[in-house]
A = this chain, B = another copy of it.
């Protein structure tokens, strides 16, 4: 496996990650489906609304994660063996998102236990993603080991915001267990939280 390499090596790691993000985001549409059964097409297309919502939320969320990944890598000077493994684990969690999105879209419409399960499963996936980001960032930033000289303050800013990741999604998952819409609303609110520009302290 690739070992410590000069800074331009980051380029290929980023290109590969961009590919995975771009594919995961575009695959989401394959999970939007016209419900079967009788009735007019107009009625069925209207009935497919949870699919549209699931598509839009997951698309925007993966897009925001891509932009964050991008911000993080602008502070990283070089790749190491550990960074490649950490990045791979993050991508493992991100590329999984289309599955809980489908599960959510199929069960959002119905109330009851299955709706609750779907919301918990969806929100719980974000705990894993937050852990993935945290691990990648720890590998890169511990002792400013891989941080570009002069960008330490920017790195600190990112470290502070990442502290909110795992606890917030644990809360949203517990919320979803109690009241599914409330849990999903917190997941949406967190997506907005991640859009705040960070990592540009001078």
Contact = CB atoms under 8 A, between A and B. Distances in A.
A16 B166 CA distance: 27
Interface in A12-48: 12, 14-16, 18-30, 32, 34, 40-42, 45
A68 interface: yes
Contacts of A198: 1, 3
Contacts of A107: 41
Contacts of A195: 1, 81, 85
B91 A3 contact: no
A40 B74 contact: no
A88 B63 contact: yes
Count of identical protomers in the assembly: 4
Interface string A187-202: 0000000111111100
Contacts of A95: 25-26, 28-29, 59
Interface stretch (A96-104, A131-139, A141-149, A168-176): A96-104
Contacts of A64: 1, 88
B55 A1 contact: no
A154 to B, nearest CB: 10
A95 B26 CA distance: 6
Contact of A117 (B42, B92, B117): B42
18 contacts: A1-B64, A1-B71, A1-B198, A3-B197, A12-B70, A19-B23, A24-B29, A26-B27, A29-B99, A34-B103, A40-B113, A40-B114, A42-B113, A42-B114, A45-B117, A59-B92, A63-B92, A85-B195
Interface of A: 1-5, 12, 14-16, 18-30, 32, 34, 40-42, 45, 55-56, 59-60, 63-64, 66-68, 70-71, 74, 81, 84-85, 88, 91-92, 95-96, 98-99, 103, 106-107, 113-114, 117-118, 121, 194-200
Given A1-B67, A41-B117, A60-B88, 6 more contacts: A1-B197, A18-B19, A20-B26, A24-B26, A24-B29, A60-B92
